[in-house]
Chain A
């Protein structure tokens, strides 16, 4: 019998303010928002829980909420970054926000990447399209001098349909100069002045052929990319326990209550969004 009614309202967002807002792609479908906290207590609570791979529900009042992956690492500053693809009414409203505007945020939600289990491992990070945002957060986290010794080699493979859709361009360009990581970028079709890979991500992965020895592979991308990249990794010798992916579903509460984001008995919002391929293989094909 429930007896303690004095619990906080878990559906109540924390107030946030837009710090910076800028387009991420030349076609203006991707926009990055960096949000600052209105209340110190909310900021402390957020960073106490935050782990790369988690997501938040962003609220535009009058429009609703959208679940979006966090695209920043905690050490980057007192803000939270999201890259928003304009799709429906909420994401359209998010695109219209200007620095200084207020909005709501609930989170961090979900499990995030199991960083403690990956200690000492080589990381192979594979992303496609705007799903790269949480992998960007992961890469930024690993790059910090305090975190870098926790992991072995760092390989990032990032594909986009065209160079105009490549996100975080200036930062990623600087990764080529780093001696503690490998970066491979790919676009789907050839373009002038593009001197990186051309081709689909699964093919680029086969071509680069990262070693499965003491490594974990993390794959985030559109379903079609994930579908073909997972078997490519399996054929390179990665066991299903060492392949991770982050799933997306339509979500409302983000807390495992509203029901809609389940695959079998697992809720993507609460038990995920990060799952190993071994865990996914044990679930029914309800994706």
Chain B
């Protein structure tokens, strides 16, 4: 169904929902925005064209989380209880919502599903806000996503100035909007025009067709040394990536807990073995791993690209490395080398 949500009714609407749901929405913290609980004092940050600094994955897969408790004396073991709460994530951008569906393939499919992910996921509605003004770092149109992509969303909002045009995408959120006045054909036309204009403002930076094969072919080539030359190995590209899911399991001895923490393939110790052998000893191999995982291995694991084009790795890289340029260079390397011969 399609509705109109006047902007001046947004806060009262959210307040009404908050009686039943815990609402998480982007709010300004310093120079960034973060998903924080909505309260009567909250001021939402929906007008910023760019995304929250932390990706929405953090709402389902926290940066640090206790997975079990133990008693060293008695040997008693206890699983941590998965957190389950009726939640609405309001104002999630389409790239982040799609990323959550990509992480479903890791945590919510096949054997050994993750109870912590599942519990949070099952009770959380994702109400998205499309991007009518994509940023310079965005490249979702190149990555099987888009500024108004609907994958993973329960509803999508389009900013039409005074009102949000609301399109519900799942049965389960219909009741949230049913009191609103339905959108008319004319407003839908306007929304479609806004969406089309946003798409058009983001021309594709590369074609995905054949990109996996091209990258696979240059796996052992020198291009990776060149691409990783200025990388500091800080790992921010992976911590803020909405599709990166690597984690470490660490015992907090004094608390008697085993904790799952985000980890990053950009660190040397990540793959360092007890024998001191390291299959990825330098930033060359580690950069290659990050890019190949997203642009090659994900296709084999899930049949999908592992990047949604959110642009966080571009925006927050302290030395300005740009995954778009890196992918373009790496995938063009072979033909250049042939040309040089």
Q: Are A258 and B246 in contact (CB under 8 A)?
A: yes
Q: Are B118 and A64 in contact (CB under 8 A)?
A: no
Complex: how many Å from CA A2 to CA B216? 32
Which residue in chain A gives the minimum CB-CB distance to B301? A265
A-side contacts of B234, CB under 8 Å: none
A119 within 8 A of B: no
Complex: how many Å from CA A8 to CA B114? 8
Complex: how many Å from CA A12 to CA B257? 11
With both chains docked as a complex, state the minimum distance between the C-beta of A95 and any C-beta of chain B, in angstroms.
13
Q: Are A255 and B112 in contact (CB under 8 A)?
A: yes
Q: Are B72 and A62 in contact (CB under 8 A)?
A: yes
Q: Are A259 and B122 in contact (CB under 8 A)?
A: no
B64 within 8 A of A: no
Query: With A64-B249, A87-B275, A250-B272 given, is the CB distance from A11 to B265 under 8 Å?
Result: no
Q: Are A286 and B280 in contact (CB under 8 A)?
A: yes
Which residue in chain B gives the minimum CB-CB distance to A104? B77
0 or 1 for each of A1-17: is its CB under 8 Å from B? (1 = yes): 11111111111110100
With both chains docked as a complex, state the minimum distance between the C-beta of A251 and any C-beta of chain B, in angstroms.
10
Looking at A66, A104, A265, the one whose CB has the most chain B CB atoms below 10 A away is A265
Which residue in chain A gives the minimum CB-CB distance to B113? A7
Q: Are A15 and B219 in contact (CB under 8 A)?
A: no
Complex: how many Å from CA A262 to CA B285? 13
Complex: how many Å from CA A253 to CA B121? 21
Partner of B106, one of A3, A12, A257: A257
Q: Are A259 and B265 in contact (CB under 8 A)?
A: yes
A190 within 8 A of B: no
A237 within 8 A of B: no
- Residues from 6 to 30 in A contacting B, C-beta threshold 8 Å: 6-13, 15
With both chains docked as a complex, state the minimum distance between the C-beta of B163 and any C-beta of chain A, in angstroms.
28
A99 within 8 A of B: no
Partner of B297, one of A6, A11, A264: A264
Which residue in chain A gives the minimum CB-CB distance to B74? A102
A249 within 8 A of B: yes
Q: Are A257 and B297 in contact (CB under 8 A)?
A: no
Query: With A7-B113, A65-B249, A284-B216 given, is the CB distance from A258 to B301 under 8 Å?
Result: no
Q: Are A252 and B77 in contact (CB under 8 A)?
A: no
Complex: how many Å from CA A154 to CA B79? 44
B139 within 8 A of A: no
- Residues from 21 to 71 in A contacting B, C-beta threshold 8 Å: 61-66
A145 within 8 A of B: no
Which residue in chain B gives the minimum CB-CB distance to A6? B115
- Residues from 255 to 284 in B contacting A, C-beta threshold 8 Å: 256, 258, 260, 263, 265, 270-275, 277, 279-280
Which residue in chain B gives the minimum CB-CB distance to A17? B75
Complex: how many Å from CA A11 to CA B259? 10
B67 within 8 A of A: yes
Which residue in chain A gives the minimum CB-CB distance to B110? A256
> How many B residues face the partner with a CB closer than 8 A?
59
Complex: how many Å from CA A232 to CA B170? 60
A223 within 8 A of B: yes
Complex: how many Å from CA A224 to CA B260? 34
Query: With A2-B122, A5-B122 given, is the CB distance from A102 to B75 under 8 Å?
Result: yes
A-side contacts of B216, CB under 8 Å: 284
B207 within 8 A of A: no
A-side contacts of B249, CB under 8 Å: 11, 64-65, 252-253, 258
With both chains docked as a complex, state the minimum distance between the C-beta of B67 and any C-beta of chain A, in angstroms.
5
Query: With A2-B104, A5-B118 given, is the CB distance from A265 to B251 under 8 Å?
Result: no
Q: Are A252 and B247 in contact (CB under 8 A)?
A: yes
Query: With A87-B275, A250-B271, A252-B249 given, is the CB distance from A260 to B112 under 8 Å?
Result: no
Complex: how many Å from CA A10 to CA B67? 10
0 or 1 for each of B98-129: is its CB under 8 Å from A? (1 = yes): 00000010111001111101110110000000
B183 within 8 A of A: no
Partner of A260, one of B115, B122, B246, B260: B246
Partner of A286, one of B248, B279, B300: B279
0 or 1 for each of B282-323: is its CB under 8 Å from A? (1 = yes): 000100010011001100110000000000000000000000
A-B contact pairs, 22 of them (CB 8 A): A1-B170, A2-B117, A4-B118, A6-B115, A7-B115, A9-B79, A12-B79, A61-B77, A61-B256, A62-B253, A64-B250, A88-B274, A103-B75, A249-B273, A250-B270, A252-B248, A257-B245, A257-B247, A259-B263, A262-B293, A285-B220, A286-B280
| Given A7-B113, A61-B72, A250-B274, 11 other A-B residues pairs in contact with their CB atoms under 8 A | A1-B122, A5-B122, A7-B114, A9-B79, A10-B112, A61-B75, A61-B251, A252-B248, A257-B247, A258-B263, A260-B270
